[in-house]
Structure 1
Amino acid sequence: MNANIASLRIAVAVFSMLGCAAALAGEDTPRVTIGGFGTLGVVHSSEHQADFTANALNPGDAGASRDWSATVDSRLGVQLGVIVDSKWSAVLQLVSERTLRDGYAPVVEWANIQYQATPDLSLRVGRIALPLFLTGDYRKAGYALPWVRPPVEPYGAIPLSNSDGVDVNYRWHIGDVNNVTQLSLGRTELSLAPGAHAQARGLAGLSNTTTAGALTMRASLLTADLSVDIARSLFDGFREFGAQGEALVERYELSSKRACVASLGFNYDPGQWFAMGEIGRMNSRSYLGDKTAAYFGAGYRFGDLTPYAVYSVSRANMETSVAGLDVRRLAAAQAVTAAQLNAGLNQLLAAIPRQNSVTLGLRWDLYPNYALKFQYDRVTPLHGSTGTLINVQPGFRSGQPITVLSAALDFVF
Structure 2
Amino acid sequence: MAVSSTARSQAEELPGVELTGFGTFGAAYNTTNKVDLLRDLSQTNGVGYSRKLDFGLDSNVGLQLDMHSAVRTISGAIQVVAKRDHAGITPNLTLAFVRYAEDDWSLRTGRVGFDVYPNADSRLIGYSYVWQRPPVEFFGPLIFSHFDGADLQFRYRRDNQEWRLKLYSGITNEKVEVTPASTYFLLNHSRLHGGHLEYRQDPWSFRASYAELHIANENPALQSSLDQLRSPGISFFVPNANPVADKLQMKGKVFRFSALSLTYDNGPWLWEAMAGRTLTGNTFIPDYKAGFISGSYRRGKFTHYGVLSAIRPLTDPEKAIVLPGAPPELIAGANALNTQMINQRGWQTSLSAGLRYDLTPQSNLKFQIDFVRSHDNLLLRRVQPDWNREAVLLSATYNFIF
Q: Decide which of 329, 337, 345 is 1:336's aligned counterpart.
A: 329
Rate the CA distance shift 1:39–1:402 in 2: closer, same or farther, 3 A.
same
Residues of 2 paired with 1:228 and 1:375: CA distance?
38
TM norm structure 2: 0.88
Residues of 2 paired with 1:232 and 1:190: CA distance?
20
TM norm structure 1: 0.86
Paired residue secondary structure (2:72): coil
Q: Decide which of 25, 42, 47 is 1:62's aligned counterpart.
A: 47
Answer whether contact 1:381 1:387 (CA < 8 A) is retained.
Answer: no
Deviations 1:265-309 (A, max 9, x none): 122111211111100101111021110000001011121111100
Residues 30-179 of structure 1 aligned to structure 2 (within 5 Å): 30-84=15-69, 85-101=71-87, 103-116=88-101, 118-179=102-163
Answer whether contact 1:56 1:390 (CA < 8 A) is retained.
Answer: no
Shift of 1:403: 0.5
Q: Decide which of 303, 308, 320 is 1:306's aligned counterpart.
A: 303
Q: RMSD over aligned Cα, in angstroms?
A: 1.9
Rate the CA distance shift 1:341–1:197 in 2: closer, same or farther, 3 A.
farther
Shift of 1:313: 1.1
> Structure 1 stretches of 5 or more lacking a match?
1-28
Indicate the residue corresponding to 1:219 in structure 2. Answer: 208
State the identity as a percent. Answer: 27
Aligned residues: 375
Residues of 1 paired with 2:93 and 2:339: CA distance?
36
Residues of 1 paired with 2:343 and 2:48: CA distance?
19
AA in 2 matched with 1:111:
A
Indicate the residue corresponding to 1:360 in structure 2. Answer: 353
Shift of 1:59: 3.8
Indicate the residue corresponding to 1:25 in structure 2. Answer: none
User: Does residue 270 of the first structure (1) align with residue 233 of the second (2)?
Assistant: no
User: Does residue 202 of the first structure (1) align with residue 186 of the second (2)?
Assistant: no
Q: Decide which of 342, 346, 370 is 1:349's aligned counterpart.
A: 342
Rate the CA distance shift 1:195–1:412 in 2: closer, same or farther, 3 A.
closer
4+ long deviations beyond 6 Å: none
Q: Decide which of 391, 395, 402 is 2:382's aligned counterpart.
A: 391
Residues of 2 paired with 1:337 and 1:191: CA distance?
31
Residues of 1 paired with 2:117 and 2:187: CA distance?
21
Rate the CA distance shift 1:317–1:132 in 2: closer, same or farther, 3 A.
same
Shift of 1:60: 4.1
Rate the CA distance shift 1:327–1:43 in 2: closer, same or farther, 3 A.
farther
AA in 2 matched with 1:279:
A
Q: Decide which of 288, 293, 297 is 1:291's aligned counterpart.
A: 288
Shift of 1:41: 0.7
Answer whether contact 1:277 1:296 (CA < 8 A) is retained.
Answer: yes
Answer whether contact 1:59 1:72 (CA < 8 A) is retained.
Answer: no
Deviations 1:181-213 (A, max 9, x none): 110011102244466423462310111222211
User: Does residue 184 of the first structure (1) align with residue 168 of the second (2)?
Assistant: yes
> Structure 2 stretches of 5 or more lacking a match?
1-13, 177-181
AA in 2 matched with 1:297:
S
Q: Decide which of 273, 278, 289 is 1:282's aligned counterpart.
A: 278
Answer whether contact 2:247 2:282 (CA < 8 A) is retained.
Answer: yes
Return 241-250 or 280-289, whichever deviates more: 241-250
Answer whether contact 2:244 2:319 (CA < 8 A) is retained.
Answer: no
AA in 2 matched with 1:187:
I
Rate the CA distance shift 1:127–1:245 in 2: closer, same or farther, 3 A.
same
Indicate the residue corresponding to 1:10 in structure 2. Answer: none
Answer whether contact 2:214 2:255 (CA < 8 A) is retained.
Answer: yes
Answer whether contact 1:219 1:264 (CA < 8 A) is retained.
Answer: yes
AA in 2 matched with 1:404:
L
Answer whether contact 1:370 1:410 (CA < 8 A) is retained.
Answer: yes
AA in 1 matched with 2:265:
D
Shift of 1:368: 2.6
Paired residue secondary structure (1:57): coil
Deviations 1:383-404 (A, max 9, x none): xx2352122234334xx32111
Paired residue secondary structure (1:71): coil
